[in-house]
């Protein structure tokens, strides 16, 4: 007799199918929102990356806006790979992919204006209120210097943020080096997520305020207060808070919506790993992050109205 291909209720296959169907439901329903469970929040975040891919494919203006910086990023990565792998031709494609991942995970610097256009077009495609530039009229040179400085801060934050945790993990018994590697990868990818949220956050109508201390800054400060032997954690918190100041609003968003942010991070990482189409990673990440920001919003205290209400009447 032929084998029964119908998955039994409650089996792993049936549960996986139910999860895939739920992701599809979220991706097909623009007005859908996750329920209060962690699982559905993650699935909803995953679905927004799928929805972003569909939106890019369907909206010609958004696709045109994404093609220019994507092509320039890819060409720059290919040129850098050619220099790095000039003595090892067999490693050219590996070097090109590694260069692309590195460039895609850092602030866009000289291509900021082009990627900002993607964020603005994504808001239009979503029928959201028109976006506004956070620094209107800023010169190209000033913008490049600002973004290069942020790239330096981000690289330092990735290193400084994991250092105290690595020290604690390495000195504890029964915890191997693998835990340190996993924590380092998760922390580095978290910053890729913050970077993807940056442009969608900055083009929100109104002006961003200074923001509150980030959750990881508060966590390190709290750890340092537990014991006088952990006082260096308080110093690390202050230093990390200084480095992370440009991303306070993005960190607040992930703290307020941890499960959708986690789902977005997982799906974005999976998309980046897909051969060929992964070159559209930043375009898809910015579009999906725009969906998250438009649908879930930042904390109410993060954004001030562009034009404060007139209280004279």
C-alpha span between 153 and 4 (Å, rounded): 57
Low-confidence ranges of the chain (pLDDT < 50): 1, 3-4, 305-313
Q: What is the pLDDT of residue 254?
A: 95
Burial of 250 (0-12, 13-18, 19+ CB in 10 A): buried
Global confidence as pTM: 0.82
Q: Which tens digits make up the pLDDT trace of 6-43?
A: 556 667 777 888 888 888 888 887 777 777 789 989 99
User: pLDDT for 42-60, tens place per residue?
Assistant: 999 999 999 999 999 999 9
Give yes or no for a contact between 115 and 108, defined as CB atoms under 8 angstroms apart: yes
Segments in 273-308 forming alpha helices (H):
281-296
Question: What are the backbone dihedrals phi and psi of residue 207, each rounded to the nearest 5 degrees, phi first?
Answer: -105, 135
């Amino acid at each position: 007799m032929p084998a029964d291909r119908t998955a039994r209720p409650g089996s792993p296959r049936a549960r996986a199918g139910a999860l895939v169907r739920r992701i599809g439901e979220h991706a097909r329903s623009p007005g859908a929102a996750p329920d209060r469970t962690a699982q559905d929040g993650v699935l909803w975040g995953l679905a927004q990356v799928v929805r972003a891919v569909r939106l890019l494919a369907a909206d010609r203006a958004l696709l045109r806006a994404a093609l220019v910086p994507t092509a320039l990023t890819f060409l720059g990565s290919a040129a850098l790979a050619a220099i790095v792998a000039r003595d090892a031709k067999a490693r050219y494609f590996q070097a090109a992919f590694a260069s692309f991942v590195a460039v895609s995970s850092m602030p866009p610097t000289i291509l900021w204006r082009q990627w900002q256009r993607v964020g603005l077009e994504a808001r239009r495609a979503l029928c959201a209120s028109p976006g506004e530039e956070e620094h209107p009229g800023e010169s190209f040179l000033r913008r490049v210097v600002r973004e290069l400085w942020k790239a330096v801060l981000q690289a330092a934050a990735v290193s400084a943020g994991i250092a105290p945790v690595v020290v604690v993990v390495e000195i504890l018994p029964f915890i191997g080096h693998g835990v340190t590697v996993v924590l380092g990868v998760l922390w580095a990818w978290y910053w890729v997520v913050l970077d993807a949220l940056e442009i969608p956050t900055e083009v929100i109508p109104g002006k961003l305020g200074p923001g509150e201390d980030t959750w990881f800054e508060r966590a390190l400060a709290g750890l340092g207060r537990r014991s006088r032997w952990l006082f260096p954690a308080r110093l690390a918190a202050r230093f990390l808070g200084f480095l992370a100041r440009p991303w306070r609003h993005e960190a607040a968003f992930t703290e307020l919506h941890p499960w959708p942010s986690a789902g977005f991070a997982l799906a974005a990482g999976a998309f980046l790993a897909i051969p060929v189409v992964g070159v559209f990673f930043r375009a898809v990440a910015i579009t999906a992050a725009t969906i998250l920001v438009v649908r879930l919003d930042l904390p109410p205290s993060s954004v001030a109205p562009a034009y404060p209400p007139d209280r004279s009447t």
